[in-house]
Structure 1
Amino acid sequence: MEGESSGIYESEFVTTLTGVCDTTDTATEQCSYANTECTADGGGGKCLCKVTHYSDGTDCQPKIALNTACTASPTGQCADSLAACDGTALLCKCTTGNFEKNDGNCAVRIANLEDGCVTAETASDQCAIADSECRTDQCLCKDTHYKTGTTCTIRKNPDETACVAGGCVTHATCDTSASPTKCECDTGYTASPTSTPTMYKISHWFEHDSQPDYEAAYIMYINVYIGNI
């Protein structure tokens, strides 16, 4: 019939949100409701909000940028596909398993140790493995931890047993010939105490008329592994 497009008359316009339309029709204007387009839905077509907008139940509203105020409902308000409205902060935030990049977009967290990351990114949660961080563009265990298969394990202190090669704190080495294996300080270093660093007490007095001014004394405590000098 003259004036008929594929499946729908050119003179027919869908004027309601969620109104039925024909997805095979090439006429882009068949959905006349503001900011809608004909979208496949349940085997048919409906005039739904464009991908840049979300439905508030009545109209199509522009999607919301990251870290911008949103409401607890409806879903799908945030412009970034990896973000959702945080129900507590009521801001569009990257969802669990994702992190916010320096450019203001969300990205999937790096799942495995030694996978590539971007050191220049300031997000501390770029690497997904607990106690890992991005260094030299790789997700690596923090200095306080070492790699154990796919996870990071905290390093053992001097005199702690059941260690593995590379599993002791800085300036200590695992004696794998011992039974059980044990972390021992490297030459020139002393452990104090055996399982945690010693709290050393350092006192200092200000001299006054060649006599210690005990009222001006101060005490400083520090936690360190001391190297022999």
Structure 2
Amino acid sequence: MQNLFRETKKTFGQVDIVVANAGLMESKGFFDFEEDEQGELMEAVEAGKIIDVNLKGTMNTLRMAMHSMKSNPLDLDGARGSIVLIASTSGYFGGTGVVSYVSSKHGVIGLARASQTVAQQLSIRVNVVAPFFTPTHITSGYSEKWKDYGLPANTTADVANAIVTTSMHPERQGHSMMVAGNLVREIEVARTSATKDWLGVEIFDIMTRGGKFFNDLGGYTLPKARS
């Protein structure tokens, strides 16, 4: 990844758009309790790999992208660059049982939310595209049955178009675009606006005041590392 950024800057002068799109899904169930010869539970090694690629890889890519873009001149829309993180509807709805994949995509959503303050300070746009079912290798096990049920599916072109549109849109900042059956909807702003309804007025008030506290403080105060 470091070489990719280095060579891109060497060839084109700067990095303008980054899409973090690598992803894996597990081939073993997280709760398939495999035991060693002594009857001890074995670590779910594949689950760690899913988190490494889907979440840690996305975190590394985002960090490298923001580091590269922070020195870019502002464009005509007032941004230094645009980053699109590829999540999934599994980042919002986690009922399919693929534990590692769902956990990693929830992490990508959290990463996008947690990055907004610094992204805005650096004038870098960070957004998410969250596709629903799209026929690819990781969905090949049930693609035909999906069709038999008459359910709509994305094409890879649908998802690619949403990524391009999101990356180029000058007013997209902190948004999450869900792509589902040829439909594209912004869901992160909608979720935020509905917070009072699902939390209740009392908890919403506490959360709002707490948010103001951290804003007034200049951000979350990091704890000192323990010796």
TM-score, length-scaled by structure 2: 0.20
**Does 1 or 2 have the higher relative contact order (CA < 8 Å, sep 6+)?**
2
| Greater share of helix | 2
TM-score, length-scaled by structure 1: 0.20
